[in-house]
Chains A and B, each alone.
Chain A
């Protein structure tokens, strides 16, 4: 079952996407086997030679095979991320412009969900601050080649961000192939807060930032900020709705319009109220 809002060209990508995921898996296995074979041949070296001029350089057929498999993975990832759909996941409450982001709606085994993946997203409106998300896994059974951090099982907000000036959050919904239900959670503000004060994006374990003063830093998504003891996730959305800071796109719609309804469909959803982790299958 696919999300009914997906356009035909996105649905048509599914077979190619599945093939890329399978090929990537095969090349990764081939790479590891070849590199282990090469390592067995090298044994316990006293030096490491990476070029023919080095005395310790050992060029085995296995090493060549490993390089080929590594290059193949790079090529597959390039193709996957180039073809990855750019979907509307929310709409800015300030300028009404839809937020388009790279997204793999066909399951958590897609390379998009790999914690270190860096897809090239379309340029958002100037109010966009951050995209986080939640996934109700339900009975879905994905078998990713990597650990996936899909977020909690139900929508939430970060109170730390919600107290920033003019911050509003927009929640929407997208069904993933395989039965999971995804909830994009997008933050918008009239003026984007400093990068270091935000949080890690959806399914990414780290916030890596460069400040306006040129300072580079990073922290884990589960590490507190400033003087806080913990990074709190608030699942009680009612109060934020009452304060007028919580908006949503209607479930089943294409997420290009903010709902004008009064009752929010994302409040008090049943599900896991803590960050989840889907361990790699193999």
Chain B
């Protein structure tokens, strides 16, 4: 039985391969070992990677068996043209990922064991290799620090003042100056090194930091009520951290965070934090890419105005 998951690392791989010149035929061949008896599933994956929703690519790739379409079939050139036409869209379309592949199973097992729907914010997949390393530790501070996307430091935190994400964050904190930001970080035991060290964030012992996971929402699978209560919240966090093998979750769900709508305190974390991944007790994994999608989802549909009063829902 296939699950119908669309996982971020596969979507990223498909997009990168296309950028490197792989044809839709080659992309389908890449997916074939995952779905040896279900070509339609592979077609759906490809459609998701390049078009998100809808059936545009599926209509071209058609249903049928793997043996139905040889490399010289006309469907491939049609699919290639369709994908290229949408390149500007899919190149910039966000796709949520986790830091490690093993964490998908952990979140799914947790959702099933606790009978909850769990929504987790996207994290940098490059950070996974640092988890548990002796020269790095998980950042648990209050202030946003960008995670490096590429290069030898990929997955580690650095406060480069030229980083657009940091500039936006400082503005969101109410035009916080970089010097004050660095001072606040230092006050919490995280020090920003100089430009020659890539503005790396280090602790008192010189260890680098990687990000943790931010939970977005945790709701009862049946009632859709929040489960992060005084009685249960921290016990759930302990169970998650135990299963993750490391303390990677430092707070409660974003939806229950007292300051989620307070610009000055939340800074870049004000409002809903997309993209994110939903894990359900039935084993479903669903990417949520837009505010419209999230606000349509139960349990958000009925309480959007209460959770995020200044954020437009799908209907507004």
A9 within 8 A of B: no
With A45-B101, A70-B242 already in contact, the answer to whether A279 and B234 are too (CB < 8 A) is no
The range of chain A's interface size is: 35 or more
* B265 interfacial contact with A, CB 8 Å: yes
- Most A CB within 10 A of own CB, among B102, B142, B207: B102
**CB-defined contacts of B1 to chain A, threshold 8 Å:** 53-55
Contact of B102 with A39 in the complex, beta carbons under 8 Å: yes
A142 an interface residue at 8 Å Cβ cutoff? no
Residue of B4, B105, B233 touching A208 (CB-CB under 8 A):
B233
Q: For residue B139, give the distance in angstroms from its CB to the closest CB of chain A.
A: 10
Contact residues in B for A90 (Cβ distance below 8 Å): none
A216-B230, A217-B256, A222-B188 in contact; A42/B142 too (CB < 8 A)? no
Report the minimum CB–CB distance from A54 to chain B (whole Å).
6
**B109, CB-defined interface residue at 8 Å:** yes
Residues facing B in A28-55 (CB within 8 A) are 28, 31-32, 35-36, 38-39, 42, 44-51, 53-55
Among A48, A196, A206, A279, point to the contact of B205 (Cβ < 8 A).
A279
A147-B247, A216-B256 are known contacts. Are A51 and B283 too (CB-CB below 8 A)? yes
Q: Are B137 and A47 in contact (CB under 8 A)?
A: no
Stretch of A113-121, A234-242, A259-267 lying at the B interface: A113-121
Determine if B238 and A48 form an interchain contact, defined as CB atoms under 8 angstroms apart: no
CA distance A69 to B244 in the complex (A): 12
Known: A46-B45, A146-B247. A219 touches B258 (CB 8 A): yes
**Contact mask for chain A residues 219-230; partner B; CB cutoff 8 A; 1 contact, 0 none:** 110111000000
The reply on A83 being an interface residue by CB < 8 A is no
Q: What does the 1/0 interface line of A191-212 toward B look like (CB < 8 Å)? A: 0000110000000111011100
Verify if B312 is at the interface (C-beta below 8 Å from A).
no
Q: Which of B2, B187, B257, B258 sits near A47, CB closer than 8 Å?
A: B2
The complex places the Cα of A42 from the Cα of B249 at a distance, in Å, of 24
Q: Which chain B residue lies CB-closest to A58? A: B105
The verdict on B226 contacting chain A, using a C-beta distance below 8 Å, is yes
| B112 engages A74 (CB within 8 Å) | no
For residue A123, CB closer than 8 A to chain B, the reply is no
Specify which of B231, B238, B259 is in contact with A117 (CB 8 Å cutoff).
Answer: B238
Q: How far is the CA of A54 from the CA of B249 in the complex (A)?
A: 28
Q: A217, B258: Cβ atoms under 8 Å?
A: yes
* Minimum CB–CB distance for B282 against chain A, Å: 10
Within 8 A of A (CB), among B227-244: 228-231, 233-235, 237-238, 241-243
Which residue of the partner chain A has the closest CB to B187?
A: A274
Residues of A contacting B112 with CB < 8 Å?
50
Query: When A208-B252, A279-B205 are in contact, do A195 and B105 touch as well, CB less than 8 Å?
Result: no
Query: Complex: how many Å from CA A44 to CA B31?
Result: 11
Query: For the complex, is B132 an interface residue (Cβ under 8 Å from A)?
Result: yes
Q: Tell me the bound Cα distance from A36 to B246 in angstroms.
A: 13
Cα-based distance from A277 to B207 in the complex (angstroms): 14
Task: Count residues on chain B whose CB falls below 8 Å from chain A CBs.
Answer: 61
Q: How far is the CB of A270 from chain B (nearest CB, A)?
A: 20
B7 interfacial by beta-carbon distance below 8 Å? yes
B234-A48 in contact (CB<8A): no
| Chain B residues in 8 Å Cβ range of A55 | 1-3, 35
A229-282 interface with B by 8 A CB criterion: 274, 277, 279-280, 282
Given A36-B102, A38-B102, A222-B142, decide whether A195 and B3 contact each other with a Cβ distance below 8 A: no
- Asked whether B311 is an interface residue with its Cβ less than 8 Å from the other chain, the reply is no
A54 to B132, CA, bound (A): 30
Known: A219-B258, A220-B251. A208 touches B13 (CB 8 A): no
Q: Is B309 an interface residue (CB 8 A)?
A: no
Interface centre among B13, B45, B207, B226 (most CB of A within 10 A): B226
**In the assembly, what is the distance between CA of A44 and CA of B100, in Å?**
10
What separation, in Å, do the CA atoms of A38 and B5 have in the docked complex?
20
Q: Does B189 contact A (CB under 8 A)?
A: yes
B178 CB within 8 Å of chain A = no
Q: Is B316 engaged at the interface, CB distance under 8 Å to the other chain?
A: no
Residues of B within 8 A of A118 (CB): 234-235, 238
User: In chain B between 97 and 128, which residues have their CB closer than 8 angstroms to a CB of chain A?
Assistant: 100-102, 104-105, 108-109, 112
State the CA gap A116–B231 with chains docked (Å).
13
Residue A16 lies at the interface, judged by CB distance under 8 Å to chain B: no
- B226 pairs with A216, CB closer than 8 A: yes
Question: Is the pair A116, B241 in contact by a Cβ cutoff of 8 Å?
Answer: yes
Q: Which residues of A contact B10 (CB under 8 A)?
A: 44, 46
Using known A-B contacts A216-B229, A280-B137, determine if residue A48 contacts B251 with beta carbons closer than 8 Å.
no
Cβ of B285 under 8 Å from chain A: yes
Contact of B257 among A56, A195, A196, A217 (CB under 8 A): A217
Name which residue of chain B comes closest to A53, CB basis.
B1
A169 nearest CB across to chain B (Å)? 22
- Decide yes or no whether A2 CB sits under 8 A from chain B: no
Residues of B within 8 Å of A13, CB to CB, are none
19 contacts between A and B (CB under 8 A): A46-B31, A47-B3, A47-B4, A48-B108, A50-B112, A54-B283, A77-B242, A116-B238, A117-B238, A195-B230, A208-B233, A210-B231, A216-B228, A216-B230, A216-B256, A223-B265, A274-B187, A279-B207, A280-B247
A-B pairs, 3 with minimum CB distance: A46-B34, A218-B252, A208-B233
Given pairs A35-B102, A44-B13, A208-B233, 4 additional interface contacts (CB within 8 A): A44-B101, A55-B3, A77-B242, A118-B238
